Amino acid sequence: MTEPRPIIIRNANLVDPASGRQEHGHLIVVAGLIADLGPGIDVSVPPKGVRVIDAGGMTLAPGLIDLRAFVGEPGAEHRETLASAGRAAAAGGVTTVVCMPDTDPPVDDPAVVDFLIRRARDTAAVRMLPAAALTKGLHGAEMTEIGLLQAAGAAYFTDGAKALADPLVMRRALTYARDFDALIVQHVEEPRLAGGVMNEGELASRLGLPGIPREAETLMLERDLRLVRLTRGRYHAAMISCADSVDIMRAAKKAGLPVTCGVSINSLALNENDIGPYRTFLKLSPPLRHEDDRMAVVAGLAEGVIDVIVSDHDPQDVETKRQTFAESANGAIGLQTMLSVGLRLVHSGQIELVPLLRAMSTRPAEILGLPQGRLQVGAPADLILFDPEEPYVLDPASLHSICKNTPFDEARLQGVVHMTMVGGRVVHEA
């Protein structure tokens, strides 16, 4: 592949979540890396052959890094492909996506990891990193070859939408992964308590739907954190959704445990009342919680207890969503809308822009040990240029995902991505 053309982006609002920088200035990209940035750069006479992009005061920030997205390849290409997910990600300002391993076959063999890396390199507009299965066949009984899978390029280890329920297997996995400095990611939901379809409470009773108590999440989380204390393995709770979980994570971090956690963009922006008249596009795992829980996770994010925001992108087709609420599949798409939905919190004064972007770029990069997620000289030029104020009404037909199961159908949003760059190459322009 030829070296990308040098680019000057001038008159931008530079926002670097890694350093807290917010200033008007310019940025220069050479050979796929950030060569210089700041207000004092002379860009009045650009060298010949350099592309100049006038940002017009829009925000220039590191590209987003999504630690949790289901992409259908291999085996479920009717739901999503690496190519379609890449287009959706680029349009939403996401420059790196970690793909879940619950495919067909599952990502439990180094050959599958290698296939996905090569396939993504050939077809996807953004960086796609495969997560590997934590147990063989995702059956929760026998550990995968963590060392070999990591050497093949696996980003981390998880059983995807399944929780690893067996405490002995989890203890062994944490102990084994510790020797490789590998990251274990858990879907924190006790399966025997999670037999319902929405948050347990008054609303579920009025709708006549079986509920999922918060304890399904907190019991699994507390168990895992005790195993982390025992083994000292690196652990990440994929998505927490309630106030009790925020308190549990705060205490674990204060105790010095090597733990981090994430939250779904849906849990930050929506609550159980949004389900309304049995809207199946809002049937999710973890379920949308009470408004008090939503406010608690927003506060936990602002405080830094919650490290990352994920899209939890999970495309579902008509056959699995156009059912009764109880029988429909969990999941919603979110790659393309994660940024603009997150900006709702900024516009409503619930969180500042820099902490929001830090949870979507810098912290995910730090957790995975990636060089992206920062506006610094020498860092990869994975960048987004967006107008955080520009309004639009979401039309599902405009989404690049194959499936259109968005919970934000016809929602009024702000924040349009005008350019996405990956490794110095422009992969999306609006």
Please write down the HEC assignment for all residues of the chain.
CCCCCCEEEEEEEEEECCCCEEEEEEEEEECCEEEEEECCCCCCCCCCCCEEEECCCCEEEECEEEEEECCCCCCCCCCCCHHHHHHHHHHCCEEEEEECCCCCCCCCCHHHHHHHHHHHHHHCCCEEEECEECEHHHCCCCECCHHHHHHHCCCCEECCCCCCCCHHHHHHHHHHHHCCCCEEEECCCCCCCCCCCEECCHHHHHHCCCEECCHHHHHHHHHHHHHHHHHCCEEEECCCCCHHHHHHHHHHHHCCCCEEEEEEHHHHHCCHHHHCCCCHHHCCCCCCCCHHHHHHHHHHHHHCCCCEEECCECCCCHHHHCCCCCCCCCCECCCCCHHHHHHHHHHCCCCCHHHHHHHHHHHHHHHHCCCCCCCCCCCECCEEEEEEEEEEECCHHHCCCCCCCCCCCCCEEEEEEEEEEECCEEEEEC
Considering the chain, what percentage of its residues have pLDDT values greater than 70?
Answer: 100
Name residue 186's beta-bridge partners.
Answer: 237
Residue 2 confidence (pLDDT):
78
**37, 68 Cβ separation under 8 angstroms:** no
> Measured between alpha carbons, how far is residue 248 from residues 90, 184, 345 in Å?
35, 18, 24
CB 26 within 8 A of CB 9: yes
- Cα distances (angstroms) measured from residue 426 to each of 51, 60, 94, 293: 11, 14, 13, 39
pTM of the model: 0.97
**Is 312 tagged catalytic?**
yes
Query: What class, spelled out in words, does domain 7-60+380-389+410-429 have in CATH?
Result: mainly beta
CA 400 to chain centre: 17
pLDDT value of position 334: 97
Q: Give the residue extent of every domain in the chain.
A: 7-60+380-389+410-429, 63-368
Predicted confidence (pLDDT) per residue in 308-342, tens digit = 999 999 999 999 999 999 999 999 999 999 999 99
Render pLDDT for 78-104 as a digit per residue (tens, 0 to 9). Answer: 999 999 999 999 999 999 999 999 999
In order of 56, 93, 418, the CA distances from 430 in angstroms are 14, 11, 5
Q: Point out the catalytic residue in the list 16, 66, 312, 387.
A: 312
Query: Which residues of the chain, if any, have pLDDT below 50?
Result: none
Domain at 63-368: CATH code: 3.20.20.140
